Amino acid sequence: MKYFRIIFSPTGGTEKAASALTANWKEAETIDLSLPDKDYSEYKIGKDDIALIAMPSFGGLAPQTALERLGQIKGGSARCIIMAVYGNRAYEDTLVQMEDAAEKCGFRIIAAVSAIAEHSIIHRYAAGRPDSSDCDVLAGFAEKIKNKIEQNDMTKPHIPGNRPYKKVGGVGLAPKAGSACTECGLCASGCPTKAISPDKIKTADSKKCISCMRCVSICPNGARKVSRLPVFAASLAIRKACSEPKQNELFTD
Ligand SMILES: Cc1cc2nc3c(=O)[nH]c(=O)nc-3n(C[C@H](O)[C@H](O)[C@H](O)COP(=O)(O)O)c2cc1C
143: part of which helix (H) or strand (E)? helix 132-150
Please enumerate in sequence order all residues whose Cβ is within 8 A of that of 24, keeping only pairs 6 or more positions apart, or say none: 139, 142, 143, 146
Q: Confidence band (pLDDT; 50, 70, 90) for 26?
A: confident
Residue whose CA is closest, atom 17 of ligand 1?
86
Q: Confidence band (pLDDT; 50, 70, 90) for 131?
A: very high
d(CA 112, CA 54): 10
Residue whose CA is closest, atom 2 of ligand 1?
58
pLDDT tens digit string along 176-224? 999 999 999 999 999 999 999 999 999 999 999 999 999 999 999 999 9
Question: Domain segments of the chain: what residues?
Answer: 3-164, 176-226
- Do residues 197 and 213 touch, judged by C-beta distance below 8 A? no
pLDDT tens digit string along 14-25? 999 999 999 999
Q: What percent of the chain has pLDDT over 70?
A: 100
Ligand 1 atom at minimal distance to the Cα of residue 211: 1
Helix (H, G, I), strand (E, B) or coil at 217: helix
Phi, psi at 105, each rounded to 5°: -80, -10
Ligand 1 atom at minimal distance to the Cα of residue 14: 26
pLDDT tens digit string along 28-78? 999 999 999 999 999 999 999 999 999 999 999 999 999 999 999 999 999
Pocket mutation for ligand 1, best pick of 86, 125, 168, 211 (most atoms within 8 Å of C-beta)? 86
pLDDT at 170 over 80: no
Q: What is the pTM of this model?
A: 0.98
Taking residues 124-147, report their average pLDDT: 97
Q: Domain spanning 3-164 has what CATH number? A: 3.40.50.360
Q: Please provide the average confidence, as pLDDT, over all residues in the chain.
A: 96
Pocket mutation for ligand 1, best pick of 121, 173, 215 (most atoms within 8 Å of C-beta)? 121
Ligand 1 atom at minimal distance to the Cα of residue 242: 11
195: exposed, middle or buried (C-beta count within 10 Å: 0-12, 13-18, 19+)?
buried
CB atoms within 10 A of CB 25: 16
Question: Pairing mode, if any, of strands 50-56 and 224-225?
Answer: unpaired
| Residue 115: closest CA among 226, 15, 215 | 15
* 44 beta partners: 74
pLDDT tens digit string along 212-249? 999 999 999 999 999 999 999 999 999 999 999 999 99
Fold of 176-226: Alpha-Beta Plaits (3.30.70)
Ligand 1 proximity of 114 Cβ (cutoff 6 Å): no
Q: What percent of the chain has pLDDT over 90?
A: 97
d(CA 133, CA 131): 6
- Do residues 121 and 89 touch, judged by C-beta distance below 8 A? no
d(CA 121, CA 58): 11
Ligand 1 atom at minimal distance to the Cα of residue 117: 21
pLDDT tens digit string along 87-96? 999 999 999 9
Helix (H, G, I), strand (E, B) or coil at 80: strand
| Residue 220: closest CA among 196, 184, 195, 179 | 184
Ligand 1 proximity of 88 Cβ (cutoff 6 Å): yes
